[in-house]
Amino acid sequence: MADAWAEQMLTAYPNSPADRDVVETLRSLLQRKILPQQAAESLTSAYDPLIRSGKTDTENLWGVYCAAIASLGHDVSSRGLLVSALLSISRLPDIVDDKGQPVMQNRQIFWRDVPDFAFWMSEGPAGMVSDREVVAKPERLRASRIAAAFGAEYLGELDREKHHAPRDGMRNLAFDHLMQALRWGFEDEEDVKRARLSAPQAATWILTAGPSLYQAVKERFSVGDYDGGSFDMERWNLWKGRFAELAAFERADAEPRRMAGLAVEEMQKIEKEA
């Protein structure tokens, strides 16, 4: 699988040595030829000279990385390797300029803050999925669910890390998915579609990274892209109620209902153990 994905990506980036290096590094990682730490060093070394020269745009780097997540992250082992490599990237030494100052992109430091990864995840596989889009590209829904599984697993690991920017980015992404799925109740056919397109992703965040999200609730973590948006007990209880509503909504598909019921149970368990 890694070979087929890599060959497809190399066709997409024929003239960019740095991007081709990223593809080959991820191929080696997913074929278990190198360790996540080695992959992190190889990935960043391809971009370090560009970043030091002022070319700090990471769109292609994270575009390739997100493509690997979407295509190969359904495999639990491969997803774990991609999470570990990303964690290893954030532990690398900071890139500094000629004056000894850390190089930044959008106020995030290379590489400790993993600049813009969360943004390109949200613009790529973790972005909102429309019913029309799924008709044209059925694989888009699958990629969205895989991205949620990756993000939730990554967030669960980030709680133990020293630098908080990557964690905050994943919290924002989780908030987006939960709001997309649970902002409104479940009553009609449009709600059936919404449940199909977004509820499994929202439930995945709770089932995989629920304790991390509950910690964000206790901190009343503020989400930048929402006016007044934050993790808090009022919103946590709203989400729990909406999951319960979906679980009992007989017109919805079986899988969203099942996952919603599991999410309610997990949220209740987290509350009891807190």
pLDDT at 225: 61
CA distances from 142 to 93, 105, 124, 190, 200 (A): 35, 31, 13, 20, 11
Is 1 inside a domain boundary?
Answer: yes
Alpha-carbon span 45 to 264, nearest angstrom = 44
Amino acid (1-letter code) at residue 102? P
pLDDT at 16: 86
Same domain, 2 and 109: yes
| Mean pLDDT, residues 61-74 taken together | 98
Is 184 inside a domain boundary?
Answer: yes
Under DSSP, the state recorded for 15 is T
Is 148 inside a domain boundary?
Answer: no
Alpha-carbon span 52 to 57, nearest angstrom = 11
pLDDT at 183: 93
Domain endpoint, select from 94, 124, 154 = 124
pLDDT in tens, 17-59: 999 999 999 999 999 999 999 999 999 999 999 999 999 999 9
| pLDDT range class, residue 226, cuts 50, 70, 90 | low
Domain count within the chain: 2
What's the sign of the alpha-carbon dihedral 178, 111, 17, 58?
A: positive
Same domain, 120 and 220: no
Same domain, 191 and 269: yes
pTM of the model: 0.96
Domain endpoint, select from 101, 124, 147 = 124
Is 101 inside a domain boundary?
Answer: yes
CB atoms within 10 A of CB 239: 25
pLDDT in tens, 157-198: 999 898 999 999 999 999 999 999 999 999 999 999 999 999
Q: Which domain holds residue 266?
A: 164-274
Q: What angle do CA 164, 221, 231 make, to 5 degrees?
A: 135
DSSP strand pairing (108-109 vs 104-105): antiparallel
Is 226 inside a domain boundary?
Answer: yes
Is 134 inside a domain boundary?
Answer: no
